Structure 1
Amino acid sequence: MKVGEALSFFRKNMNLTQKSVRPDYMKQPTLSKIENGKQTVPFEEIRDILKKAGIGQEEFFSVVELDEEQNKFRLLFYNCSVNSSDLQSKEKLLSIYYDLNNRSNLNIQEYSNLVSIKIHLGHRFKEVTPLSKKDMHKIYHYLSNKSFFTHFDYVLLSDTIFIFDDTQIDLLSKAAYPIKYCHLRNQKTRLFVLNGVTNIITKYLFERNYLLAERYIDLAKSMDSGVKDYHYHLNIGYLHNMYLYLTTKEYHYQKVARTFVETLQNMGETLWAEQMESEINRLLNPEINEYQTNMIDTTDF
């Protein structure tokens, strides 16, 4: 919902009149214009309206889409990721891709969206060009010069970190992890932070570099304090047990890793369960020692 829609939603469901929630300094038609999306409203006025209505700010803003366009992009991106035969979603996403790919001055939000499309859909849609060597140099230069990472920096890092070499990963991980001011970050940002670490672990498991895999498993465990998200804990538990199996060959650990697949299936997370099962089988195949290399153009490397 937009701000005005959310104000109207709460007010009507609470059986309150516009007059009863309108601050004394606000003119009579102003709130109506705000609710109908015909007038913007400063934060101070929203705060005063919520106070008069008895609505908590946290509850109110939990239903407000502060970045509606980005939310639409993520939904469209997800639809294309799980169902590449959805031609309508594909057409809409390609329209965004063409616009971003043909522009030179992108902000970090736009650039991270473009990279996400290239990384995750470049091998599915022939219209999307994979990341090039020039792209990777640009991304590394940008990230390696960051002293403070914001949300879209972590999105970009999570999507690309497994592509860099060991030295580059070491430098970037030291700059980005552990996350600074974690308690002030929202859940979405924290999850992209953690996804970046799990991507590094998976990369090193595929490369059979167990020393570095163990190092980043320890890092991941040190960062999970206060993270109340089952996705992250399931991922770390699964990856840790796969690491233990691959390094000890004790079947017990592989069995435990596969119980995470069963857990996901029982929770209705069918797609994630299928992806995890596929990854386990690939990790057990000694002929596979690279992680997602089909997502970048290696012809110019």
Structure 2
Amino acid sequence: MNLEEALYFFRKNKNLKQKDILTHTSVYSKIETGKKILRFSELTDILERFSIPLDEFSEYLEDSMEQKKYRRLFKQCGNDPTDNLSKRELLNYYNQLTFSKEMHLREMANFIGIKILFSNFWKEVSPVSQEELNQIYELLMEKEYFFQYDYAVLSNTIFLFNNKQIKHLAKKALPVKDIEVRNVETTEFIKNMINNLITTLLRKKEYKESHYYLRLASTKEGNLKFDYKLVIQYLDNLTSYLITGDDSYKENIYDYIHLLTKLGEQNFAKSIEREVCSILSESKDVPIFIQADL
């Protein structure tokens, strides 16, 4: 749906007349038919009448619905890369994208996510090129504030950069500005970025760097969401175990994995367990978290 269609959809489903939304019916009519530019203050007033929060309303907009379709396809293909029907559909979307610094960040995040995961399975998808990586680095380094898809792109590429670039990007991304007001999707990308950053450093045995960025990631501890705190605590225990060899830290890691399993997050728990085993065994098989199933 576009904005006007979404307004009409909610009004009809709330059994409201145009005059119930705004006193001047002709003004609202022009808004709903796209004949009047809608100011943000007007939109918030209308949503107040609908008793619908802005983030829920935005889920019905065209871009959001398209992204949901992409994420569903991505998840289906990730669970079964041999599913030819889903594969063809995802490849059709992928082939419509042309990489450049000027492309929409959402599309860049999707494009890179497909390359990172499916270049391992499908000959039709090539790995991220050095030129693409260079452009991503330049793009992110130009930013003063990271939004949702900045973190999505960084999450999917942080482990591909050299040590110097990783330090520059990590200092840009951490501490996360306004972490306490970020929405669920953005927080998931942030968690994945931190996870991929820290595990990359641990594989390089950069333990002090790992501790440093974990401290930056938890500077507003009192305001952080519970699941975010759990991820930070897990990574802190993993780092501490690698430094000290103290089995109590390892027990904490597996307590976290068991908790995820009890909460019904079996796939995530298995991913964490594979990651831990890979790092402790110094395996070259590097599992990377890519958020695309929200």
Structure 2 vs 1, CA of residues 138 and 223 (structure 1 numbering), >3 Å: closer, same or farther?
farther
Aligned residue type for 1:43: L
Report deviation, 1:202.
Answer: 0.8
Taking the TM superposition and a 5 Å limit, the aligned residue runs for 1:54-65 are 55-58=51-54, 61=57, 63-65=59-61
Q: Which moved more, 1:275-284 or 1:179-188?
A: 179-188
- Partner residue of 2:230? 234
| 1:196 corresponding residue in structure 2 | 193
Q: Structure 1 regions of 5+ residues with no counterpart? A: 296-301
Computing the radius of gyration over CA atoms, which structure comes out larger, 1 or 2? Answer: 1
Aligned position for 1:26: 26
Residue 272 (structure 1) aligned with residue 268 (structure 2) = yes
Percent identity of equivalent pairs: 33
2:114 to 107, 113, 117: 117
Distance 1:109 1:183, change over 3 A: same
Structure 2 residue aligned with 1:177: 174
Q: How many angstroms apart in 2 are the aligned matches of 1:254 and 1:40?
A: 62
Instruction: Give the aligned partner of residue 259 of structure 1.
Output: 255
Q: Which residue of 1 aligns with 2:129?
A: 132
Q: Which residue of 1 aligns with 2:140?
A: 143
Kept after mapping to 2: 8 A contact 1:6/1:60: no
Q: Quote the Cα distance in structure 2 between the aligned partners of 1:225 and 1:124.
A: 42
Residue 95 (structure 1) aligned to one of 92, 96, 103: 92
Aligned mates of 1:103, 1:134 — CA distance in 2: 10
Once the 2 structures are TM-superposed, how far is the Cα of residue 219 of structure 1 from its aligned partner? 1.9
Q: CA deviation at 1:237?
A: 1.9
Structure 2 unaligned regions, length at least 5: none
Give distance in 2, aligned partners of 1:171 and 1:80.
Answer: 33
RMSD (Å), alpha carbons:
3.2
What code does the residue aligned with 1:133 have? Q
**Is the Cα–Cα contact under 8 Å of residues 198 and 220 in structure 1 kept in the other structure?**
no
Match for 1:25: what amino acid?
T
Distance in 2 separating the partners of 1:11 and 1:234: 40
The letter for the 2-side match of 1:100 is: L
| 2:280 counterpart of 1:284 | yes
CA contact (8 A) 1:23 1:48 kept: no
* Deviation (angstroms), 1:20: 3.8
Which whole-Å CA distance do the structure 1 matches of 2:85 and 2:221 have between them?
A: 39
Query: How far apart, in 2, do the equivalents of 1:283 and 1:269 lie?
Result: 21
* Cα distance between partner residues in 2 of 1:85 and 1:93: 12
The one-character-per-residue Cα deviations of 1:50-100 (angstroms, maximum 9, x if unpaired) are: 45x452444762653362222322222222223323332221111111111
Q: Do 1:203 and 1:290's aligned partners in 2 also have CA atoms closer than 8 Å?
A: no
Is this contact kept in 2: 1:207–1:290, CA < 8 A?
no
1:172 CA displacement: 1.3
SS at match of 2:191: helix
Once residues 55 and 161 of structure 2 are traced to their aligned partners in structure 1, the CA distance between those partners, rounded to angstroms, is 41
Give the Cα separation in 1 of the matches to 2:44 and 2:201: 49
8 Å Cα contact 1:241/1:254 also seen in 2: yes
Cα distance change, pair 239–104 in 1 and its aligned pair in 2 (3 A): closer
The alpha-carbon distance between structure 1 residues 204 and 57, as it changes in their structure 2 partners (threshold 3 A), is: closer
1:249 to 2:245 alignment: yes
Q: Could you tell me whether the CA contact under 8 Å between 1:159 and 1:196 is conserved in 2?
A: yes
Go from structure 1 to structure 2 and tell me whether the alpha carbon gap of 1:186 and 1:66 turns closer, same or farther (over 3 Å shift). Answer: farther
Aligned to 2:213: 216
Determine if contact 2:99/2:108 at 8 Å carries over to the other structure. no
* C-alpha distance 155-27 of structure 1, shift in aligned 2 (>3 A): closer
Query: Contact 2:21 / 2:46 at 8 angstroms: preserved in 1?
Result: yes
Pair 60,142 (structure 1): closer, same or farther in 2 beyond 3 Å: closer
1:45-84 alignment, distance < 5 Å? 46-47=43-44, 49-50=46-47, 53=49, 55-58=51-54, 61=57, 63-65=59-61, 67=63, 68-84=65-81
